Amino acid sequence: MSQDAPLKIKIITASTRPGRIGPVVTDWIAGVARERAAFDIDVVDLAELDLPLMNEPKHPSMQDYQHEHTKRWAAIADEADGFIFVTPEYDFFPPASVVNALQYLLLEWSKKPAAVVSYGGVSGGLRSMQVLRGLMGNLNMVALSKSIPVPFVHRMVKDGVLEPNEAMIDGAKLMLDELESWGRGLREMRG
């Protein structure tokens, strides 16, 4: 694989409930990320993926998956060079959907960078982001520090489109710079 080839980045919408705002936030960061030639962006919606609560009999390190939903999810993660998780905060925590989706797999995450765009009320989902970054580290991902909290997310949406503030625009640039640099470095390291 040429080191100049675009990095395959999966942007994952974590929330799954009807009426969720998650896809609006994903649309925003996906639009910004698509402006970079360095990235080949795919959007993945956990609601569409529809993973049940973890039901694989074997430890994910064996990669001996029994179910089609796991094989599908593993193929998506495996081909990726990096990730952006777009997550709400539920009870100061990431939603079960994204914890479940991460724990389905192991080696597919390894030595890959992961950024987080979190959202919520006054906290911008920061507590959720930090818990998620801890889990990512345990899965041998590089959890980027340059991630973006979006406070009062509902106030930023006009006609179904998220209108970012200055801090988010600046934050997105820093986050995507870091994702690109770690993405390239780790891709070379994985060989």
Ligand X SMILES: Cc1cc2nc3c(=O)[nH]c(=O)nc-3n(C[C@H](O)[C@H](O)[C@H](O)COP(=O)(O)O)c2cc1C
Shortest Cβ 155–ligand X spacing (Å): 11
Quick one: 31 or 188, whose CB is closer to ligand X? 31
Quick one: 20 or 69, whose CB is closer to ligand X? 20
Identity at 34, one-letter amino acid code: R
Q: What angle do CA 70, 71, 74 make, to 5 degrees?
A: 80
Shortest Cβ 60–ligand X spacing (Å): 26
Residue 168, phi then psi, degrees to nearest 5:
-70, -35
Give the burial class of 73: count Cβ atoms within 10 A of its Cβ; 0-12 exposed, 13-18 middle, 19 or more buried: buried
Shortest Cβ 15–ligand X spacing (Å): 3
Shortest Cβ 20–ligand X spacing (Å): 4
Nearest to 46 by CA among 8, 101, 128, 88: 101
Quick one: 70 or 128, whose CB is closer to ligand X? 128
Quick one: 20 or 184, whose CB is closer to ligand X? 20
Quick one: 39 or 119, whose CB is closer to ligand X? 119
According to DSSP, the β-strands at 161-162 and 7-13 are unpaired
For residues 162 and 73, what is the distance between their CA atoms, to the nearest angstrom?
Answer: 28
Q: Name the residue whose CB lies closest to ligand X.
A: 120
Binding site for ligand X (CB under 6 A): 15, 17, 20-22, 88-92, 120-121, 123, 125
Shortest Cβ 5–ligand X spacing (Å): 33
